[in-house]
Amino acid sequence: MPALAATLRLLRRALFRERLPVVPGCLPVSSGGAAVVADQRILKHASIESFAHYLRKHKCSSVLVLTGAGISTSAGIPDFRTPGTGLYDNLGKYNLPSPQSIFDIDFFRRNPNPFFLLARELYPGNFKPTPGHFFIKLLAEKGILLRNFTQNIDTLERVAGIREEFLVEAHGSFASAKCVGGRLKPKPNQYQSSENENNPNHSSSEEEAEESEEPYTAPCGATYTQEWVKEQVFAGKIPTCENPDCPAGLVKPDITFFGEQLPARFFTCLKTDFAKADAVIVMGSSLKVSPFAMLPLLLSKDVPRLLINNEVVGNFNPDNGKDAVFLGSCDDGCRALAALLGLEEELEEMIEAGAS
């Protein structure tokens, strides 16, 4: 796809530039990370107060908000990487080759059971939006938000009432589903159940290897609603395509797994939005999954950035004159920013209405 290739080239160029001591067209930073001189600063201080002052002074109306799993943790949904509590640290019961396998398309086609067992715990309808989600909705209603790029698949943005035109679900979501083709046989010595390991009649690795070469049935293109898939999952079934011409095709929510292409909307909005943005807020993301992790690198030199997170991530640098950092929860950061923008009362009313 030409558009995809061009976008990836842009992302690679941006990443390469950020490794240089002096970035062409960006604020100069020494190789030692020294602060820029005062008259080159976009923000007076690397604080949420300075960022809020900038938004008000410049009447910003094209703010991008980039969100990760941290915005949903107060709703009871675990993030992925927090030691001890993160999703990847709590998948042992599924006996996976690696934690990431549960979101791997090749693994899913051979063994969809672990994903659908996990889906029962994570499915939309089990959780309510957080103050962070309502803050993004408030930015949209006030004409401040350009777009919310989210890594999350929980659809809490939609539940909060953020209109679809403001959303880019970079990793897809549970909101829709489609047939992804017929199920593959398990690979030899992988994804085996414990009962097979002790079964004397279980086929040998050589026999399994021959079986595993069978090509999977191509997707038929049938689409399904979130409600239909949820009904199947909560009935303990593997959602299977109902198209009579599709022999038992697997139906998967439109979540982007490892090994799949990101949604076309991600690339379409990427090409337009980052040229328009007049400020960016990143919150609740580890910025470790590409290409999403590279998005903050695509901004013009004069675009200020605010990070709301429990730790500094990515290439955020409080000394570069354009970055502000709020260390804490997404809920606390959003409430603090709302207060600084004079939106505190409206945000609390929205949160209260959403909780009822």
* Residues 222-244 pLDDT 10s: 999 999 999 999 999 999 999 98
Report, as an integer, the average pLDDT of 269-293.
93
Which range, 104-108, 245-249, 305-309, is most confident? 305-309
Q: How far apart are CA 259 and CA 97, in angstroms?
A: 16
Q: Does 160 carry a binding-site annotation?
A: no
Domain boundary among 233, 255, 277: 255
The CA angle 99-263-96, to the nearest 5 degrees, is 10
Q: How far apart are CA 9 and CA 287, in angstroms?
A: 19
In this structure, are 136 and 51 located in the same domain? yes
Q: Does 351 carry a binding-site annotation?
A: no
In this structure, are 213 and 311 located in the same domain? no
Residues 22, 23, 24, 27, CA torsion sign: negative
Q: Does 152 carry a binding-site annotation?
A: yes
73-77, 78-82, 162-166, 311-315: least confident range:
78-82
C-alpha dist (Å) from residue 25 to 22, 29, 226: 9, 12, 45
* Residues 185-230 pLDDT 10s: 665 544 444 334 333 344 333 444 344 445 567 888 899 999 999 9
Is 171 annotated in the active site? Answer: yes
Whole-prediction pTM: 0.79
Q: Does 69 carry a binding-site annotation?
A: yes
In this structure, are 181 and 199 located in the same domain? yes
Report the CATH number at residue 291: 3.40.50.1220
Number of domains in the chain: 2
Domain holding 205, by residue range, is 78-125+175-255
Mean pLDDT of the chain: 81
Report the CATH number at residue 180: 3.30.1600.10
List phi, psi (to 5°) of 340: -70, -25
Q: Does 104 carry a binding-site annotation?
A: no
29 compared with 115, residue with greater pLDDT = 115
Percent of the chain with pLDDT over 90: 56
- Give 270: exposed, middle or buried? Use CB within 10 Å, 0-12, 13-18, 19+: buried
Q: Does 241 carry a binding-site annotation?
A: yes
* Residues 153-183 pLDDT 10s: 889 999 999 999 999 999 998 889 999 988 7
In this structure, are 243 and 316 located in the same domain? no
Q: Which of 45, 58, 133, 171 is catalytic?
A: 171
In this structure, are 269 and 207 located in the same domain? no
C-alpha dist (Å) from residue 291 to 12, 193, 237, 295, 307: 9, 34, 33, 7, 18
In this structure, are 65 and 214 located in the same domain? no
In a domain, 199, yes or no: yes
Contact 278, 126 (CB under 8 A): no
